[in-house]
Amino acid sequence: MSAARTLPSDWSPGSPPRRTTLLELVCAVGEVTRDERELVATVLHLLESGRVILCGNFRGVPPGEFR
């Protein structure tokens, strides 16, 4: 899977949120981050900012529940 496919570089504030599973999101972000701490911070930011909405098993779980 390509990180560019899941997390488009052309995302802008007016773009609709990207729907993905937590596994796809973690894998994509993991391809472009240096360590686990950066990965977790990036995933939380994407979820809390509304840029990404989870589908699948974690859909509807508030981002604060991941901490």
Asked whether residue 12 is domain-assigned, the answer is yes
For residue 15, pLDDT beyond 60:
yes
CA Rg, the chain, in Å? 11
Residue 26's domain comprises 3-59
User: What value does the mean pLDDT take over residues 1-26?
Assistant: 72
> Total structural domains in the chain?
1
Asked whether residue 64 is domain-assigned, the answer is no
Q: What's the predicted TM-score (pTM) here?
A: 0.69
Q: Under a CB-based contact definition with an 8 Å cutoff, are residues 1 and 28 in contact? A: yes
Residues 25-37 pLDDT 10s:
999 999 999 999 9
User: What is the pLDDT, as a whole number, of residue 66?
Assistant: 57
Asked whether residue 10 is domain-assigned, the answer is yes
Three-state secondary structure of 31-48: CCCCCHHHHHHHHHHHHH
Segments in 1-67 forming alpha helices (H): 3-6, 22-30, 36-48
Cα dist from 23 to 12, 20, 26, 27, 51, whole Å: 23, 8, 5, 6, 16
